[in-house]
A and B are shown apart, each in its own frame.
Chain A
Amino acid sequence: MTLRTLTSTCVALAMASFASASDLLAIKVGHAETISHGRIDHAVILIEDGKIVTIGQDLPIERGIPVIDVPNLWVMPGLVDAYSRIGLEGRAGSEFTPENKAENELFPRNDDYQEVLNAGVTTLGQYPAGTGGVPGQACVVRPKGATKQEMLIKSGAYLMIVFRADARSKKMVRDAFEKATEYADKEKKAREKFDKDQASKKKSDEKKPEDKKDEKKEGSSASAQDGAAADDKQSDKKDESGGTKYTPPEPDEKTKPILDLRAGKLRALVTLFQAADWLHFKDAIKEEKFGYDLRIPMTRETDIFEIMKEVGEKKLRIVCEPEITLTPSTMRQRNLPSEFVKAGAKLVFLPRQDTIAIGANPFSGSAPMTPFKSWLRSVGEIVAAGLDRDVALRAVTLEPAEMLGLADRVGSLDKGKDANLVFYTDDPIEPMTRLKAVMLEGRVVHGEVKQ
């Protein structure tokens, strides 16, 4: 109970700008795509403080609760785009900057975010600028808010690694893990020494002041990765003086994210451009174990199907655009997203292009709508070409939510989750369907639904 009130106050605080949070609201809707447990016809969704309290078929609604009654509409959870740079300002590089965070580039008053909302996208994973190397950590935002704090849902959502089959990429990855190992060894030594000293101290029961200073020194020298001898001396000093609590040496800022990767605190999103990159990536990480997803741009004649079997067996998650591709050097079409799913992979879809502008579409010439607004339509095309419908809907909601580590908050219509709802006039992936309204955490932020 306390936890709920706490989180709801947090949400209320976060939404301070959109007027006070409403208490209770019921929605009666023709069809609800819950994503997590199928479709509910004649669904009733009860919302309190921007969260879904209950959802079910033909639930009784207490008198006095305001009701939105839309029996002709369909509702599904707000779309989650896990990989976007909409609204961010930053310079692209190709360096090793894992400590870099995408939220530093956030520019809250950007009008583009409203466009994102208008397309039904209520959760946005934003990645730091970078065309190669390790650009940094992504964050998750709600596309509304006047300040960074209001927008930011999660920091450090995933560590981006842009991997190409070249000596530089491989060295970068190898070195990163090597440094992490170096640190781990150092930490282990420091701990052993500490334990030893603790034991000896118990015997002699001596105590000396001036402790913190040395610790700081130790930390800075560890980060500098200097000669081990000097460090040892200092840690000796520290341990002799002895604090009762063990403080591990501070890892340097570039090493920490890698340690987090190893510890499972952070996932990686590895961009691969061709099948060969995968082989070289595996060669670079060797036995290293950490959680990662694969970002695979679905280019016209991609050869990524070469690694499909292995990716499927490993049940990896692939992040790609809903595109039909061609077998290289032929005009034979392939539905790779569908093939990957059949092989066992998990699927996250992105809009065809990461822009809210009306621009050229690489496949069908000029797009009639922005890639965001035609997102579900393009997903529908892949479904028409053979992808399982449930998998497709999951690929734009719950799967990206899981990838961002936010499956407990967004991505499906379930009790306790944020009331991010998108209303459609018909089945969301049908081409004739129009988007009617978008609700973000219990508030209608685009369109209208009658009350």
Chain B
Amino acid sequence: MKFQRRLWLAAFSLSFAFAFAPKAMAWVQEGGEGSSSEKKDEKKDDKKKEDEWFAVKNADVYTGTGAVIRGACVLSKNGKIEKISTEVDIPDGAKVLDAGGLRVYPGLVAFNSNGLFGAASTDFQDTVNPFAQNLVLALGNGITSTGQGGAALKLKRGEIEGVVMRDRYLVPLTYANSNPSGKKSLVDKLEATAKYLREMREWEEKKKSDKDAKEPAKKDADSSILQVLKGEVLARFQADSREDILAIARLAQKYGFRPVIEGCQEGWAVADDLGRAGAYAVITPRDRRDKSEELIAASGTSIENAAILWQHGVQVAIIPSARGVDLGGIAGRDILALQIEAGFAIRGGMPPKAAFDAITSVPARLLGVDYRIGTLEVGKDCDLIVTDGDVLHYQTFVQQAVVDGKLVYEKNKETYYAQIRPRSESALAPEKRVDKGQQSPDEKTSAEGAKDEKKSDEKKPSDEKKDDKKGG
């Protein structure tokens, strides 16, 4: 009897050991196999699609993070920044842009614009016109991304893939003293939604101990406001008077969200409240608004608006007064004057770095795509501009624009600004390779041009002129 039991035990322990040991072994094996197969896959992918390398070298790189790296190279792999350094081994086959003596900045971000993608106004993935002239003009003025119709769009030239970076990150809400019923309805919605959110969180806590806990009813909770309160999206208001701005700031503080206030002309007068509410402001430094004679308190516009808001911790984005491309009327007020507008903020006392952020990283954050664009950092999209001076200086021109590691604009090749202060060839000193695949449309079509790249590289000066005329 005893013997039998022992035997049984032995059998049991054996089987036990067997049951586990192989598993452990298998796990080890699986791990090994997994990693090796992954490597294989990677190799396969390499074969399938070769990595696209692009490098801008010898430039003073203004990363937008505060760092300036002189004589550095920005290396891009498949549209993402791989390295920014003075010591970069540029891989064979990379397209190289020699920006000797020039500056590199992150591409500018227009918080809001219209008409850059042709007639597209909704369903951008299905409607954008990536050949639109306005798009080229915007690139020529340094804009590589923009917000339109609630979506964050990238100015990809000749491509429709990847134009929409993010959709519906901003929820437009109205809260104005001139519209009391609208005010009330928003407060009601916020109240109901906040209540629902509270109950929801309570329920989630309760659920852990009590499985039968009742899920709260959604009732009047608004789904988009729910997102706002959860911090998944940003609420966007339009307000200019100090009363409205104050009301929004208090509302936001009460319900615990960070408002985006567009216009914000009298924001400087209530800047501390805005700062405390963690507000974002989208302003046009050149806006004009008279002081209210009924008020003793400060009101009206101020050239210092941007500076004061910034000093109080408000994140400021800057946008020109006209959102489209306007080639008639008074020049310099449309979307193409983005950096000029930022210059007016500097005039009012805003530090240049803050003004630059106001047209790059801050609008990128407001559009919910700051993890991809807005600054030059490893891992972010390679959207950059090459300029012949300080980007905020009125004399500066964008010489080249790069979007997703592709050269999409060259000043000397386009019809728009080529004739204004052209840089001599020796100053540009681009490597021959840069021209590869970036021929003007005219050349692309001529059979010899397409076949014989050597010939196109050794263009005569007369050909160059022709290209300039016809390019576009």
Q: What residues of chain A have their CB less than 8 Å away from a CB belonging to chain B? A: 165-167, 170, 274-276, 279-280, 283, 303, 305-306, 308-309, 312, 327-330, 332, 334, 339-340, 342-344
Chain A residue nearest to B120 in the complex (CB): A165
Q: Are A334 and B444 in contact, CB atoms less than 8 angstroms apart?
A: no
Residue B446 at the chain A interface, CB threshold 8 Å: yes
Q: Which residues of A contact B415 (CB under 8 A)?
A: 327, 329-330
Question: Can you name 13 A-B pairs with beta carbons within 8 Å?
Answer: A165-B127, A165-B128, A276-B132, A279-B160, A283-B161, A306-B158, A308-B444, A308-B445, A309-B441, A327-B472, A330-B469, A339-B442, A343-B445
Q: Which residues of A contact B128 (CB under 8 A)?
A: 165, 276
The complex places the Cα of A343 from the Cα of B469 at a distance, in Å, of 20
Q: Are B126 and A165 in contact, CB atoms less than 8 angstroms apart?
A: yes
Q: Are B444 and A343 in contact, CB atoms less than 8 angstroms apart?
A: yes
Chain A CB within 10 A, most for which of B122, B132, B442, B445: B445
Q: Which residues of B contact A166 (CB under 8 A)?
A: 123, 126-127
Tell me whether A279 and B159 are in contact in the complex, defined as CB-CB below 8 angstroms, given that A166-B126, A328-B133, A329-B472 are known contacts. Answer: yes
Q: Which residues of A contact B71 (CB under 8 A)?
A: none
The complex places the Cα of A330 from the Cα of B444 at a distance, in Å, of 20
Q: Are B472 and A167 in contact, CB atoms less than 8 angstroms apart?
A: no
Residue B447 at the chain A interface, CB threshold 8 Å: yes
If A305-B442, A343-B444 are given as contacts, then 18 extra A-B residue pairs at C-beta distance below 8 Å, sorted by A number, are A165-B120, A167-B127, A275-B129, A275-B131, A276-B128, A276-B130, A276-B160, A279-B158, A306-B441, A327-B470, A328-B133, A330-B415, A330-B469, A330-B472, A332-B469, A332-B470, A339-B445, A343-B445
Q: Are B131 and A344 in contact, CB atoms less than 8 angstroms apart?
A: no
Chain B CB within 10 A, most for which of A166, A276, A328: A276
Q: Within the complex, which residue of B127, B441, B447 is in contact with A305, where a contact is CB–CB below 8 Å?
A: B441
**CB-contacts of B124-180 with A (<8 A):** 126-133, 158-161
Q: What residues of chain B have their CB less than 8 Å away from a CB belonging to chain A? A: 118, 120, 122-123, 126-133, 158-161, 415, 441-442, 444-447, 450, 469-470, 472
Q: Which residues of A contact B131 (CB under 8 A)?
A: 274-276, 303, 306
Q: Within the complex, which residue of B122, B129, B446 is in contact with A276, where a contact is CB–CB below 8 Å?
A: B129
Q: Are B126 and A170 in contact, CB atoms less than 8 angstroms apart?
A: yes
The complex places the Cα of A327 from the Cα of B131 at a distance, in Å, of 13
Chain A residue nearest to B469 in the complex (CB): A332
Q: Which residues of B contact A167 (CB under 8 A)?
A: 122-123, 126-127
Q: Which residues of A contact B472 (CB under 8 A)?
A: 327-330
Question: Distance in Å from the Cβ of B443 to the closest Cβ of chain A?
Answer: 10
Q: Are B445 and A274 in contact, CB atoms less than 8 angstroms apart?
A: no
**7 tightest Cβ-Cβ pairs between the two chains A and B:** A276-B129, A167-B123, A167-B126, A343-B445, A309-B444, A339-B445, A275-B131
Chain A residue nearest to B443 in the complex (CB): A309
The complex places the Cα of A62 from the Cα of B424 at a distance, in Å, of 76
Tell me whether A342 and B470 are in contact in the complex, defined as CB-CB below 8 angstroms, given that A165-B129, A279-B130 are known contacts. Answer: no
Q: Which residues of B contact A280 (CB under 8 A)?
A: 126-127, 160
Chain A CB within 10 A, most for which of B120, B123, B159: B123
Q: Are B130 and A334 in contact, CB atoms less than 8 angstroms apart?
A: no
Q: Within the complex, which residue of A283, A306, A309, A332 is in contact with B450, where a contact is CB–CB below 8 Å?
A: A309
Q: Are B441 and A308 in contact, CB atoms less than 8 angstroms apart?
A: yes
Q: Are B126 and A329 in contact, CB atoms less than 8 angstroms apart?
A: no
Q: Which residues of A contact B127 (CB under 8 A)?
A: 165-167, 280
Q: Which residues of A contact B446 (CB under 8 A)?
A: 339, 342-343
Chain A residue nearest to B117 in the complex (CB): A276
Q: Which residues of B contact A340 (CB under 8 A)?
A: 445
Q: Are A276 and B126 in contact, CB atoms less than 8 angstroms apart?
A: no
Q: Which residues of B contact A305 (CB under 8 A)?
A: 441-442, 445
Q: Which residues of B contact A303 (CB under 8 A)?
A: 131
The complex places the Cα of A329 from the Cα of B140 at a distance, in Å, of 16
Chain B residue nearest to A308 in the complex (CB): B445
Q: Which residues of A contact B158 (CB under 8 A)?
A: 279, 306
Q: Are A342 and B126 in contact, CB atoms less than 8 angstroms apart?
A: no
Chain B residue nearest to A274 in the complex (CB): B129
Q: Within the complex, which residue of A276, A283, A342 is in contact with B118, where a contact is CB–CB below 8 Å?
A: A276
Chain A residue nearest to B448 in the complex (CB): A342
Q: Which residues of A contact B120 (CB under 8 A)?
A: 165
Chain B residue nearest to A333 in the complex (CB): B470
The complex places the Cα of A147 from the Cα of B469 at a distance, in Å, of 55
Q: Are A342 and B447 in contact, CB atoms less than 8 angstroms apart?
A: yes
Q: Which residues of B contact A342 (CB under 8 A)?
A: 445-447
Q: Are A343 and B450 in contact, CB atoms less than 8 angstroms apart?
A: yes
Q: Which residues of A contact B123 (CB under 8 A)?
A: 166-167
Chain B residue nearest to A338 in the complex (CB): B445
The complex places the Cα of A344 from the Cα of B160 at a distance, in Å, of 24
The complex places the Cα of A45 from the Cα of B470 at a distance, in Å, of 47
Chain A CB within 10 A, most for which of B118, B122, B126, B450: B126
The complex places the Cα of A280 from the Cα of B120 at a distance, in Å, of 12
Question: Distance in Å from the Cβ of B404 to the closest Cβ of chain A?
Answer: 16
Question: Distance in Å from the Cβ of A329 to the closest Cβ of chain B?
Answer: 6
The complex places the Cα of A271 from the Cα of B444 at a distance, in Å, of 23
The complex places the Cα of A312 from the Cα of B441 at a distance, in Å, of 12
Q: Which residues of B contact A327 (CB under 8 A)?
A: 415, 470, 472
Q: Which residues of B contact A329 (CB under 8 A)?
A: 133, 415, 472
Q: Which residues of A contact B447 (CB under 8 A)?
A: 342-344
